[in-house]
Structure 1
């Protein structure tokens, strides 16, 4: 039996997304890339997102193929195991271009299930 229900894992992802967006609100990339405290906090939350995504049951993942479950887990692996390869430009683009949509998609999953 999993240690947490998958719905709680999705709530964890949504909370991490909200915290990333709150921490980076009003920032430009130049501000982000020199603020080590914000970078580390954001990377930690991306790690939570990836770990939680990896623990969503396959049957749920297959019902929502538009959600990048695998990519979230892969980002976690890079952040924690290949940390020297993290490219802040990619992290920044994910924050600005992908996280708001991902939050909406995950909210829809919770409402539908």
Structure 2
């Protein structure tokens, strides 16, 4: 049986994105840069977001093609950098990802989450 898991993958991405924001809530950049636990927690969240995006890209390529404005490839690239270059990451970029990119990602996920209502 081939179950459609698109909504599950999108929900996984949302949960991980929201978690990354909660990990840094109330922090200043300098606090993040000196807090290895939060760095690791955010890094793991970014990996989960990326893994879910990769699964969508591999399992539902038509869905991905129908949503070209969503940053699929950038998400996969960030996941790869975090997963394979963890000790050489620029933590300032990770911080700015949580402050700028993750909120935008959540807005994009809202749009993707409505794909059934849009006629798909």
TM exceeds 0.5? yes
Q: Distance in 2 between matches of 1:53 and 1:35?
A: 27
Of stretches 85-94 and 13-22 in structure 1, the one that deviates more from structure 2 is 85-94
Match of 2:90 in 1: 87
Q: Distance in 2 between matches of 1:4 and 1:28?
A: 40
Q: Distance in 2 between matches of 1:2 and 1:74?
A: 28
**For residues 10-49 of structure 1, what are the structure 2 equivalents within 5 Å?**
10-49=10-49
1:111 equivalent to 2:93? Answer: no
Match of 2:103 in 1: 100
Q: CA deviation at 1:103?
A: 0.6
Q: Which has the larger radius of gyration?
A: 2
Q: CA deviation at 1:85?
A: 2.6
Q: CA deviation at 1:80?
A: 1.3
Give unmatched runs, 5+ long, in structure 2. Answer: none
Q: Distance in 2 between matches of 1:109 and 1:35?
A: 33
TM, length-normalised to structure 1: 0.91
Is the alpha carbon distance of 1:52 and 1:37 closer, same or farther for their aligned partners in structure 2, counting shifts above 3 Å? same
**Structure 1 outlier segments of 4+, above 6 Å:** 1-4
Is the alpha carbon distance of 1:70 and 1:2 closer, same or farther for their aligned partners in structure 2, counting shifts above 3 Å? farther
Q: Distance in 1 between matches of 2:4 and 2:26?
A: 34
